[in-house]
Amino acid sequence: MERELVGALGVLVMITLMFLRVPVAFAMMVVGWCGIVVLRSTGAADAVLSADTFRILLNFDLTTIPSFMLMGYIAYVAGFTRDVYEAARQWFGRLPGGLAAASTIGCASFAAVSGSSLATSAAMGKIAVPEMLRHNYDKGLATGVVAASGTLGSLIPPSVLMILYAIFTQQSIALLFLAGLIPGIMSAVIYIVMIQTRAYLNPALAPGMTQAISFRQKMAALKGAWAIVVLFLMVIGGIMSGIFTPMEAGAIGATGAFLIALLSGRLTTEKVSLAFIDTLRQTGAIFAIIFGAIVFTRFIALSGVGQYLADAASIFSDRAILVVIALSVIYLILGTFMGPIEIMLITLPIVIPVIDSFGLSLIWFGIIMIKYLEIGLITPPLGFNVYMLSSVVGRKVPITTIFRGVTWFLAMDVVTLALLIGFPAISLFLPDLYTAWTSFLRVEGLQAAEAIRLWITGALP
How would you write the chain as a 3-class SS string? CCHHHHHHHHHHHHHHHHHCCCCHHHHHHHHHHHHHHHHCCHHHHHHHHHHHHHHHHCCHHHHHHHHHHHHHHHHHHCCHHHHHHHHHHHHHCCCCCHHHHHHHHHHHHHHHHHCCHHHHHHHHHHHHHHHHHHCCCCHHHHHHHHHHHCCHHHHCCCCHHHHHHHHHHCCCHHHHHHHHHHHHHHHHHHHHHHHHHHHHHCHHHCCCCCCCCCHHHHHHHHHCCHHHHHHHHHHHHHHHHCCCCHHHHHHHHHHHHHHHHHHCCCCCHHHHHHHHHHHHHHHHHHHHHHHHHHHHHHHHHHHCHHHHHHHHHHHHCCCHHHHHHHHHHHHHHHCCCCCHHHHHHHHHHHHHHHHHHCCCCHHHHHHHHHHHHHHHCCCCCCCHHHHHHHHHHHHHCCHHHHHHHCHHHHHHHHHHHHHHHHCCHHHHHHHHHHHHHHHHHHHHCCCHHHHHHHHHCCCCC
The single-letter code of the amino acid at 214 is: S
pLDDT score, position 205:
85
Alpha-carbon gap, residue 49 to 421, rounded angstroms? 37
Alpha-carbon gap, residue 335 to 224, rounded angstroms? 37
Backbone angles phi, psi at 294, to 5 degrees: -60, -45
User: Is 383:406 a contact under the CB 8 Å cutoff?
Assistant: yes
pLDDT score, position 364:
93
Could you tell me the CA-to-CA distances from 239 to 257, 432, 433, 451 in Å, in that order?
Answer: 17, 14, 13, 15
- pLDDT tens, the chain, 461 aa long: 577 788 778 878 877 887 777 777 788 888 888 888 888 888 888 887 777 677 777 777 778 888 888 888 888 888 887 787 778 878 776 777 888 888 888 888 877 777 667 777 777 788 888 888 888 888 888 888 888 888 887 888 888 888 889 888 888 888 898 899 999 999 999 999 999 898 888 888 888 666 767 777 777 777 767 888 888 888 888 877 777 788 888 888 889 889 988 888 888 888 889 888 888 888 888 888 788 877 887 887 787 766 666 666 556 556 777 778 888 877 877 777 777 877 787 788 778 887 887 788 899 999 998 998 888 888 877 777 887 788 778 778 888 888 888 999 999 999 999 999 989 999 999 898 888 777 766 666 666 556 665 555 655 55
pLDDT score, position 287:
82
47 Cβ neighbours under 8 A, 6+ residues apart: none
User: Is 358:323 a contact under the CB 8 Å cutoff?
Assistant: yes
Q: Using omega within 30 degrees of 0 as the cis cutoff, is the peptide bond preceding 158 cis?
A: yes
pLDDT score, position 423:
92
Residue 159 burial by Cβ neighbours in a 10 Å radius (0-12, 13-18, 19+): buried
pLDDT score, position 163:
87
123 Cβ neighbours under 8 A, 6+ residues apart: 76, 81, 110, 114
| Furthest C-alpha separation in the chain | 75
